Amino acid sequence: MLTSSPEAKPRPADPTVSVVLPNYNHAKLIGRAVAALQAQKRPPDEILIVEDASTDQSLRVIEELAAGSNIVRVLVNKENQGTIAALSRGLDASGGKYIYFAAADDWTEPDFFSSAIDLLERHPQAGLFCGEADLVDGHTGRSVGTRPAVRPANRPMFFDASAAANLLRSSDNWILTGSTVFRRDRVIETGGFLSELGSFADGYLARQIVLRHGFCYAPEIVATWCIFEESYSRTTATNAAEATRVRVQALAHIAADPVFPSWYKALFDRRLRFATLRLAVTARPINRPMLLQLSVQSGIGRAVLGAICRLPLGWAVRPLLLGWLWLRFRPMSLVGLSKTACTRYWGRRRTRGREHAPLPLDRSKSGNSSHE
């Protein structure tokens, strides 16, 4: 049974920006996420926290946050429903023209919403805005990269649906939910989040929207994405049976939806398998069962993979495996990847790097975060 918290507030009249923030066992981190949202130069009109039956002190922390803010509303699930159900509940309860699906363990940069709304207002046909995210280790705060790996462009611009389809030929995953603002009506008309797609439900929704309506993009860091090995999407990706189930469901939906180009299903399959296998290779120890199940079908391929895994190369085994997987799956444009890496390198040289807000150490499970 679902019920609203006693701290729930009525919906504001005609909100422009709504934030949906699912929470499960993030009592130590959610305050940082809410503070960053409230510190936006263009603050949201409502922040809907969906408390998903946490077993820590989350509800107490969230109620305190709501009591101290006139824009924070709280929805409480009596039983744990999972990330996708929480996002869907928040979507239904929201009313903004624009909507941001946040994560309790991440945080946003102050210019995010103002940049997004500026571009979306100038391009009303666009279904969403997406920017870039810095990746940090959730426990240590160590920088581990920037996404997307291949930029669609090196300046803010609008891509129509046809241009979005062309982009998908050379790269993917340039729409990260944690750095994306959606037009709420486009989310609703597209059908929202499909529960059977699990941690890929938000990625599938975003692809549908850009292939129908196009999107706006800005090559600027708008959010920080904290990587926890225990998170919802990571545990899905490193579980061979669940990863295979999500992959099969995603491919079936892509094949059935005419908005996706006919060539995209096979390309997406390669990219998804590569992304899953990359996590298997970087795991400690290497997840060999996942590698064998998803990477090769032929006897020769299995023999090659087994031989690489048995080589006494120490630290060099992982780069060798990643190189072999890249050659096998060719997930994205190597030229685009190189250009983006060079552009970011020289950009950081000019700005002398980027400082991250201090991260409180939280060695508990990170719970249901859908943005990985």
Reported as a single tens digit per residue, the pLDDT across 97-119 is 999 999 999 999 999 999 999 99
| 201-205: Cβ within 8 A, 24+ apart | 201/84, 201/87, 201/370, 202/87, 202/101, 202/177, 202/370, 202/371, 203/173, 203/175, 203/177, 204/250, 204/253, 204/254
Q: What is the pLDDT of residues 235-288, one digit of tens each?
A: 555 677 788 888 999 999 999 999 999 999 999 999 988 888 888 888 777 777
Percent of the chain residues topping a pLDDT of 70: 82
User: Mean pLDDT lowest for which of 4-8, 153-157, 270-274?
Assistant: 4-8
Count CB atoms within 10 A of the CB of residue 25: 24
Under the banding of pLDDT at 50, 70 and 90, the label for residue 362 is very low
Tokens linked to 334:
């190597």
- Residue written as tokens 């982009």? 167
- Mean pLDDT, to the nearest integer, of 16-22? 98
- The answer, yes or no, to whether residue 357 has pLDDT greater than 60, is no
Cα 233 to Cα 257: distance, rounded to the nearest angstrom: 24
Which burial class, exposed, middle or buried, applies to 290 when counting CB atoms under 10 A from its CB (0-12, 13-18, 19+)?
A: buried
* Residue 94 backbone class (left: φ over 0; alpha: ψ -120 to 50; beta: rest): beta
Side-chain-side CA neighbours of 278 within 13 Å: the count stands at: 14
What domains appear along the chain, each with residue ranges and CATH number? Answer: 1-7+15-107 (3.90.550.10), 243-332 (no CATH)
Better-scored residue on pLDDT, 220 or 327: 220
Cα 287 to Cα 168: distance, rounded to the nearest angstrom: 29
Is pTM beyond 0.95 here?
no
Q: What is the pLDDT of residue 370?
A: 42
Q: What is the pLDDT of residues 202-211, one digit of tens each?
A: 999 999 999 9
Under the banding of pLDDT at 50, 70 and 90, the label for residue 6 is very low
Q: What is the pLDDT of residues 166-197, one digit of tens each?
A: 999 999 888 999 999 999 999 999 999 999 99
Under the banding of pLDDT at 50, 70 and 90, the label for residue 9 is low
Q: What is the pLDDT of residue 353?
A: 47
Q: What is the pLDDT of residues 277-310, one digit of tens each?
A: 888 888 777 777 777 776 665 666 667 666 766 6
> CB neighbours of 210 closer than 8 A, spacing ≥ 6?
127, 128, 159, 161, 164, 175
β-partners of residue 77 are 2
Handedness of CA 123, 126, 127, 132 (dihedral sign): negative
Q: Which of helix, strand or coil describes residue 124?
A: coil
